[in-house]
Amino acid sequence: MPPLRDPRFTGAFTAITTPFSADGSTIDTAALAEQIAFQARGGIKGIVIAGTTGESPTLTETELQELALSGIDHAARAGMLSILGTGSNSTAHAAHLQKLAKSAGADATLSVNPYYNKPTQEGLYRHFMTVADSAALPVILYNIPGRTGVALTPATVERLAAHQNIVAIKEATGSTDSASEMAARCPTLALLSGDDSMTLPFAAVGGVGVVSVVSNLVPAKVSGLCSAFLGGTWGKALALHREVFALCRVMFLETNPIPVKAAMKMLRRDTGAVRLPMTEPSPATLEAIKRVLAESGLA
């Protein structure tokens, strides 16, 4: 197998939440610093700032810039990689955000499939090639058809893999078939799971890590899971997978990041505030989260 284009993008990465004030009106930069430090203590390789979990659609560009500068600085001080979410359904805007990420000092970007306008595979190819051309910065493709309404096919990812700036893909299809084909077609790209419960199954077919939601809560376990399978200790990896599985499931009872922010509030690590159109979780979801946190020894 050929080496990965950029071997830095293996292991556990956390898609961090964006901490807001109790009314959701402002970003709590002190809480952000604490969250990043918590991730570093858990052995996380890097953080994704302003991704889906970070409620990027509700951030103004001024907030995005402030969040990026603060998050990138804290990550660097903690010895972690910083990845900035720069996706857009406007190719020109995505290219603009790619340049912003470069100027802010990010190590890489996470660029999601254009949403709502549902481009063809040719449109997706041209979109991501334009983004990758716009700045000398590594790009992680983000394939999440459940959010965007369109999926990158393995054939299109193979075409995109020819671009030197495209180094990885966050595969959030939940399909081991898709992951298997991508790993075979694109062996130089780092295949990262975009679903916590699929981290170990994807590793079995060529995955090399995860962009995780549940690591907001248990970074050491997610980091340990990745270290185990990357080191060939599959029995340990399976044990850790089973330890975090209930948390993985409950974090998606409602749309991400509603459950994870509720859990962080219960753990006194966040106000729990989300911005509309996200809302607080239902009483049933809150009860399920509380139960799983207790069963996991977190509360």
Helix H or strand E encompassing 112: strand 108-112
Pure H helices in the chain: 29-41, 61-77, 91-104, 121-134, 145-148, 154-160, 176-185, 199-204, 219-230, 234-250, 258-266, 283-295
pLDDT tens digits, residue range 58-70?
A: 999 999 999 999 9
pLDDT band at 1 (very low <50, low <70, confident <90, very high): confident
| Given the residues 45, 170, 221, 261, the one annotated as active site | 170
Q: Is 142 a catalytic residue?
A: yes
Query: Is 170 assigned a catalytic role?
Result: yes
Give the helix, strand, coil percentages of the chain, each rounded to 5. 50, 15, 40
| 179 band by pLDDT with thresholds 50, 70 and 90 | very high
pLDDT at res. 186 = 97
List 99, 116, 125, 142, catalytic entry: 142
Percent of the chain with pLDDT over 90: 99
Burial bucket for residue 115 (CB in 10 Å: 0-12, 13-18, 19+):
middle
Q: What whole-number distance in Å separates Cα of residue 122 and Cα of residue 260?
A: 35
User: Which pair of tokens denotes residue 210?
Assistant: 């995860």
C-alpha distances in Å from residue 44, one per residue of 93, 109, 166, 239, 277: 30, 17, 22, 19, 30
- Burial class for 289, CB neighbours closer than 10 Å (0-12, 13-18, 19+): buried
Exposure string for 246-281, b = 16+ CB within 10 A, e = fewer: bbbebbbbbebbbbbbbbbbbeebbbbbbeeebeeb
Domains and CATH numbers, the chain: 11-231 (3.20.20.70)
Residue 195, pLDDT score: 98
Residue 239 main-chain phi, psi, to 5 deg: -60, -45
Measured at the CA of 205, the angle between CA 202 and CA 210, to 5 degrees, comes to 30
Q: What integer pLDDT is reported at residue 163 of this predicted model?
A: 98
Give the pLDDT mean for 18-24. Answer: 98
CA atoms within 13 A on the CB side of 36: 28
Q: Categorize the per-residue pLDDT at 299 as very low, low, confident or very high, splitting at 50, 70 and 90.
A: confident
Q: What is the pLDDT of residues 133-158, one digit of tens each?
A: 999 999 999 999 999 999 999 999 99
Region 274-296 average pLDDT: 98
Q: Mean pLDDT in the chain? A: 97
The overall longest dimension of the chain from CA atoms, in Å, is 51
Please name the residue that has the structure tokens 């990420």.
101
* Span 75-91, pLDDT tens digits: 999 999 999 999 999 99
Q: Helix (H, G, I), strand (E, B), or coil: what is residue 295? A: helix
